[in-house]
Structure 1
Amino acid sequence: MEEHLPQSLIVEVLSRLIDTADLARCRVASKTLNSLSQEVRSLNLLCTLSRYLKSRSPETKHLVTPFKTIFHNLVQNSRNLESISIGVDKSLGGISYDDVEDDSDDLCLTDVRFIKDWLPRVCGHLKLLSISDFWIQSCWRKSTVLALISSCCHRLLELEVRNAWLSVDGLNPMPTLTHLTLEFIRLEDEDLLKINECFPSLQVLNLVGVGGLKEPKIDLLHLKTCQWTVSNAPLSLAIFAPRLLKLKLKCVKPKSLVLETPLLSDFHLALEKENEVRVKEFRNLKNLQLESSSLCSLIHKFRSGNTIKKLKLDLLKSAEPVKMKKFCLGTLLDIFPNVNSLTLGPMAWSEAETCFREGGLESWSGMKEVKEFIAHLVVDDINVTLSFIFCILNKCTTLLDMALLIHREVDSGTASNLISRCTADHPRIIWRWGMWKEGEEDTWVSVGI
């Protein structure tokens, strides 16, 4: 059948295979496919949990071709590769050290000896390289793979490395690199400084679960999008990025947080405890999401919130219970007077409802610009919840769209009663209903919940 298709189309199909293991099967299916497979532009090989378990079982391990061997056979004759992705499936992350009886390196994919055997031959056209290592084998083997990549991949645009202990020894500048993802990586402060220096053109930076940092600093002139999840509690944390537009930052409780990002328009900040947070004025900030155990204190750091149109708030549980000011809707108007979309997470809603019950909204004049209100409810007392909802609707006179998600453990009778009374009392409002539960995605449902 392949003889009747244009060769360019066959190459396109082979390049789009999600699992390159299928490409290996195609190679043995026919001479035509074997020849054309060498022209593919993309390889994506993943070691699954089932393959790993078979390779360890005495009954089946002799039947399993080593993972690195399969990849080597696929890559050695490829001529036009632009994208390479090799890794272990996330399900292998559930394997503990107690389950491993040897010090094998058969899945240590950031092993320089393994990568040096094939990367220099295929790097000429390479634009994307992704390596997801096996943490149990890589965490105690410090790898200089970054130096090897930087020495030969001169056209690389995107680099992703996951689950490894990396060294920046010998790292060379990579002026073409615009996207970098380091996920569950062990680094040191000096390593991060070297990355700032050698990747000056980065526009997208993702640092997720990067440990070992004490006083990390990002200083990148061209950075536009950044996701940074700090896995430990650094002494200080700083970002200097004059062109940054979108930032998602999650950290525990740094003693100092410095942000010099004047063009920031979309900001998601999750901070367990606010200490010395210092932010310069955000004149372009439109979307703001805050999560913190000290939410009230953090909110007041954004005194120049006139530009914010979309606001999302929630409280985080703190490992160290501290008496602090409760969150109340009344604090928002002066700081965020022009918000037209407000979202409250479950703990923020709960505290705001408590504030209402204690009379904390008697003098509140509402939010004059808000048109959309989204909230995650835990209905402990339906009458209090209804009164709070009606208070919001009566004082926010421009509000048109009310989206409420009810916790899945609230009984159906209470949920139905809440829905019917809301829709009957305020028929002019566009009501949207859903369900939520910790650790699960929100689900929007029909009115007959």
Structure 2
Amino acid sequence: MEDLPPPLILDILSRLHDAFDLARCRLTSKTLNSLSYEVKFVNLFCSYDRYLKSRSEETKYSITPFKTIFSNLISNMKSVESVCIGVEKELVGLSYDDLDDESDDLYLTDVAFVEEWLPRVCGGLRSLAVLDFWMQSCWRKSEILALISSHCHHLLDLEIKNAWLSMDGLKPMPALTTLTLEFIRLEDEDLKNVNNCFPSLQVLNLIGVGGLKEPRISLLQLKICHWSVSNAPLSLAVYAPNLIDLKLKCVKPKSLVLETPLLSDFHLEIDNTGNFKVVELPELKNLRIESPNLCGLLEMFPNVRTVKHVMLDTMKHGEEDDMLKFSFEALADFFPKVKSIRLGPEAWSEMETCFRVGCYRRAIEMRTVKEIVAHLVLCDSEVTVAFISFLLEKCTNLSDMALLINRGVDSKVASNFISRCTALSSRVRWRWGMWKEGTKDCWISDGI
């Protein structure tokens, strides 16, 4: 390998996903050792196996501390552009029931540790990810953001996971365009600092962020936002005039305010909210909603008539008997221009129930619909076949029908059901699959 041109060797070294391999290469030859310091990407993760060995009485004294390995690896590197340091998924999933860890050998947002290596590489750094070990970080409040903002003036992409963060001392980072905070403990004042210190953010991911009571996002340049709130806040608000794509998941808030006039793609997973305010959404094309009360929630939207692709499902809820069932009639009223409809098992069941009890008072045609994808429970195949026949009649331009049957349905029942459905119409392309909660959908045919 030493006979290869240096640029080619450097390219090979740069493709090593695990920096442990890079460290091993340094020991094999002077050429590899020299070129390794020119690698631009450093990724180092502590494995579950290494963690166990560091705790075993038999091996813990022979294991080099993870932080030491990283500091030695990155020291004297000349032009690092991307750093990712963290723990592997097996360690992320551990809880206090599994262990009681009060050490700090994997406390990766530790300011004293980060201060050892960050100033050496910050000049050319464009991307930084610190994926901490929750068992050691959740009870230690870290001021790593202040340290990063003081040194990384050209950083574009920042990701921090599994930590309790402080915004004290945070300085503006006008170059930053992407920020991901996942399983982070914050407070409302901290989120205000995010709005103030990251004015150029175009992508914001707040996933599993807890501790917020009345969080507010106000970012003028924001285009993509994924926001998952782990606690039950009193209110949520998003003010983002250039936002195009929003995925919002939250427990029942008393108030939700969205001022996002350019929103095109919207995924909302929410319990009922008492006060729902949305400005006009004239650009909305793709809408996905999961809620225990689809009808009540959709009525709060000022206009969803522009939607072309819709995906709907309901959640089981203690007050669901008091809520209006979602029907085909409601679907046609809310989405007169929709082309593609995807229905989760609960939404399909509600529509099928409305059909069975004869809730449809008037003949409605949905002439724009081209595709229907539905997850079926198949409690009563006779009713389901009749409802599908009804859909074929009302969706006059339907050309693609994709039906997924619950894996718990008897194979003979499913086979007979498929035969009866395909006999209903030859104009549509039938696709069949299976679904099970918590698993990926499985398609068994791509057209009959």
Q: TM-score, normalised by structure 2?
A: 0.98
Mapped partners of 1:318, 1:380: distance in 2: 20
User: Aligned pair in 2 of structure 1 residues 76, 323: CA closer, same or farther (>3 Å)?
Assistant: same
State the AA in 2 paired with 1:334. Answer: D
Is the 8 Å Cα contact of residues 145 and 167 (structure 2) preserved in structure 1?
A: yes
Report the equivalent of 2:158: 159
Report the equivalent of 1:397: 396
CA drift at 1:61 = 1.4
User: Aligned pair in 2 of structure 1 residues 448, 240: CA closer, same or farther (>3 Å)?
Assistant: closer
Report the equivalent of 1:53: 52
CA drift at 1:113 = 0.2
Report the equivalent of 1:254: 253
User: Aligned pair in 2 of structure 1 residues 364, 303: CA closer, same or farther (>3 Å)?
Assistant: farther
Mapped partners of 1:89, 1:323: distance in 2: 45
SS in 2 for 1:50: helix
Which moves more between the two structures, 296-305 or 435-444?
296-305
CA drift at 1:334 = 2.1
CA drift at 1:427 = 1.5
Mapped partners of 2:145, 2:189: distance in 1: 15
Report the equivalent of 2:360: 361
Is the 8 Å Cα contact of residues 274 and 297 (structure 1) preserved in structure 2?
A: no
What is the 5 A alignment of 1:153-302? 153-302=152-301
Report the equivalent of 1:6: 5
Mapped partners of 1:274, 1:92: distance in 2: 36
Report the equivalent of 1:18: 17
Is the 8 Å Cα contact of residues 66 and 105 (structure 2) preserved in structure 1?
A: yes
Deviation track 1:8-61 (CA, whole Å, cap 9, x = no partner) reads 121122112111111111111111111100000000001111111111111221
Q: Percent identity?
A: 63
Mapped partners of 2:291, 2:424: distance in 1: 34
Mapped partners of 2:12, 2:243: distance in 1: 37
Which moves more between the two structures, 182-191 or 298-307?
298-307
SS in 2 for 1:354: helix
State the AA in 2 paired with 1:93. Answer: V
Deviation track 1:308-352 (CA, whole Å, cap 9, x = no partner) reads 100110001225656211111111222211000011101000111
Deviation track 1:222-259 (CA, whole Å, cap 9, x = no partner) reads 00000000101111100000000000000111100000
Which moves more between the two structures, 143-152 or 87-96?
87-96
SS in 2 for 1:373: strand
What is the 5 A alignment of 1:341-420? 341-420=340-419
Is the 8 Å Cα contact of residues 215 and 236 (structure 2) preserved in structure 1?
A: yes
Show structure 1 runs of 5+ residues with no match: none
User: Aligned pair in 2 of structure 1 residues 364, 13: CA closer, same or farther (>3 Å)?
Assistant: farther
Mapped partners of 1:380, 1:136: distance in 2: 45
SS in 1 for 2:273: coil
User: Aligned pair in 2 of structure 1 residues 435, 102: CA closer, same or farther (>3 Å)?
Assistant: closer
Deviation track 1:70-94 (CA, whole Å, cap 9, x = no partner) reads 1111100211100000001121133
SS in 1 for 2:159: strand
CA drift at 1:102 = 4.8
Deviation >6 Å, runs of 4+? none
Q: What is the root-mean-square deviation of aligned Cα atoms in Å?
A: 1.4
Mapped partners of 1:409, 1:101: distance in 2: 40
Aligned residues: 448
Mapped partners of 1:147, 1:299: distance in 2: 42
Report the equivalent of 2:42: 43
Q: TM-score, normalised by structure 1?
A: 0.97
Is the 8 Å Cα contact of residues 239 and 259 (structure 1) preserved in structure 2?
A: yes
State the AA in 1 paired with 2:2. Answer: E
Mapped partners of 2:361, 2:321: distance in 1: 27
Mapped partners of 1:216, 1:289: distance in 2: 23
Mapped partners of 1:191, 1:320: distance in 2: 35
